[in-house]
Structure 1
Amino acid sequence: MNILAVGAHAGDMDLTAGAVLAQHVLEGHQATLLHLTLGERGHPRMAVPDYAAQKREEAEAFADAIGARARFLDYEDGLLPEDEDVKLRVGDLIRELKPDVLLTHWSASIHKDHARTHRVVEDARFYGGLKTLERDLPAHWAAQLYYADNREDAEGFRPDVFVEIAEEAYEIWSRAITGYAYARGETYGFPYVDYYRALTIVRGAPAGFRRAQAFAAPVGSRDLRVRGSF
């Protein structure tokens, strides 16, 4: 199985889906984190170019730590477009990487880059799988699409897919995510690491798991699915 997690900013999918990615890598699968922007405007006390360089290093270190790959597009934080160019670029990466599973943001968010990424990925999935759309690579349809459990994308989010996380995967992710300064609370003070560590227990308990990360399925294909993997 091959998973592609697409985030608006470096660190988004690492935090919300990273434990699941670590779990799947341990099981012998492939995982890639695609960052549409670096989130370089997210530090109130660092110059944007300096924080951009730091975020890229943090993203690469996180991917290495969990055994995944990191890919980057070159859009600006806060200015992510929602046009055919970005959708086709992501669609081309879907054709290149051939994921079975796509993970991305839920549709409603306090961050417009998150909401735009949701729509970009949905259209990119279509473009990636459209055989009559001629691109450099042949079409590839990503069979599964899920939306990650992000406190900043909470409006209307209803988790219905719960993926169990083994302790080894949890520990790998838990250590790796502390490599992000923002996750440690060093930007605006929110304790992201503590919150998302605790959330693995909150999401796991109703499903009968010690730990889990939760996802929403696309509207129209929802049913309650409790499972150990995608």
Structure 2
Amino acid sequence: MTHLLAIGAHAGDMDLTTGGVLVQHIQAGHQATLLHLTLGERGHPTVPPGEYARQKREEAELFAERIGAGVRVLDYEDGLLPEDEDVKLRVADLIRELRPDVLLTHWSASIHKDHAHTHRIVEDARFYAGLRTLTRERPAHWASELYYADNWEDAEGYRPDVFMGLTDEAHEAWSQAMSVYAFARGETYGFPYVDYYRALAVVRGAPAGFRHAQAFATPKGALDRRARFFGKE
């Protein structure tokens, strides 16, 4: 069984960009966990951050429940996510605890600083988690695969080279689960997130021979890959 850990800057980031793949793996008997470094509580133009934080936590938990995934949320502030050794070690400790085979996170360049910070946090946390000579509460664990998700805010220099085909069932289950997020329904700034990412799944899938797909980039630009599952199939 493969365990996927999707690590995003804000609740909703990985849900949107990796959710179809998470659903498909879960439906096939694999395991998935979402880790949100912040709730994204400053992402509503009229709801105060404290109130929106409570709403986003409920939405994140409901999304995870609907797709059958685990969910963890750290206590960093939206827009103020640090990029320091403390947060990297906290994420490394969670990697050692959860022992995932695959990590999914943001691409390196983004219009949102929290996304770019998360990219570097995850890369270093992966290293720390696998470093046997670094003594922590739990033993070392190396997550053998790392992929960067396809996010419209992280587009600069992004070139996907892994295309994960989605079944119709996984695509629809992910789309329906995303409706629990108010921002995804377009109720914050009006951006049609669900429509955009549903359409993107068609765009990414067609050249790879799939009806729908979610795309990923690899750390060192591996050869293009067409698949339906990460890890060992």
Q: Which bin holds the TM-score, normalised by the shorter protein?
A: over 0.9
4+ residue runs of structure 1 moved beyond 4 angstroms?
none
In the TM superposition, what is the alpha-carbon distance from 1:229 to its structure 2 partner? 1.4
User: Which residue in 2 is equivalent to 1:63?
Assistant: 64
Cα-to-partner distance string for 1:146-181 (whole Å, 9 max, x where unaligned): 000000000000010000111111111110001100
1:24-35 equivalences in 2 (<5 Å): 24-35=25-36
1:58-97 equivalences in 2 (<5 Å): 58-97=59-98
1:205-220 equivalences in 2 (<5 Å): 205-219=206-220
User: Which residue in 2 is equivalent to 1:224?
Assistant: 224
User: Which residue in 2 is equivalent to 1:50?
Assistant: 51
User: Which residue in 1 is equivalent to 2:128?
Assistant: 127
In the TM superposition, what is the alpha-carbon distance from 1:223 to its structure 2 partner? 1.2
CA distance in 1, matches of 2:165, 2:129: 29
Cα-to-partner distance string for 1:172-226 (whole Å, 9 max, x where unaligned): 111000110011111111111100011111101000011100000002x421111
CA distance in 1, matches of 2:191, 2:157: 22
Cα-to-partner distance string for 1:68-102 (whole Å, 9 max, x where unaligned): 01101000000000000000000000000000000
1:202 aligns with 2:207: no
CA distance in 2, matches of 1:198, 1:65: 22
In the TM superposition, what is the alpha-carbon distance from 1:228 to its structure 2 partner? 1.6
Instruction: Tell me the TM-score normalised to structure 1 length.
Output: 0.99
User: Which residue in 1 is equivalent to 2:181?
Assistant: 180
Q: Which runs of 5+ in 1 are unaligned?
A: none
1:104-183 equivalences in 2 (<5 Å): 104-183=105-184
1:7-46 equivalences in 2 (<5 Å): 7-46=8-47
Q: How many residues align?
A: 229
Cα-to-partner distance string for 1:115-172 (whole Å, 9 max, x where unaligned): 0000000000000000000000000000000000000000000010000111111111
- 3-state DSSP class of the match of 2:117? helix
CA distance in 1, matches of 2:186, 2:111: 19
Superposition CA RMSD, Å: 0.6
Instruction: Tell me the TM-score normalised to structure 2 length.
Output: 0.97
Aligned residue identity for 1:202: V
CA distance in 2, matches of 1:178, 1:198: 15
Aligned residue identity for 1:229: F
- 3-state DSSP class of the match of 1:214? strand
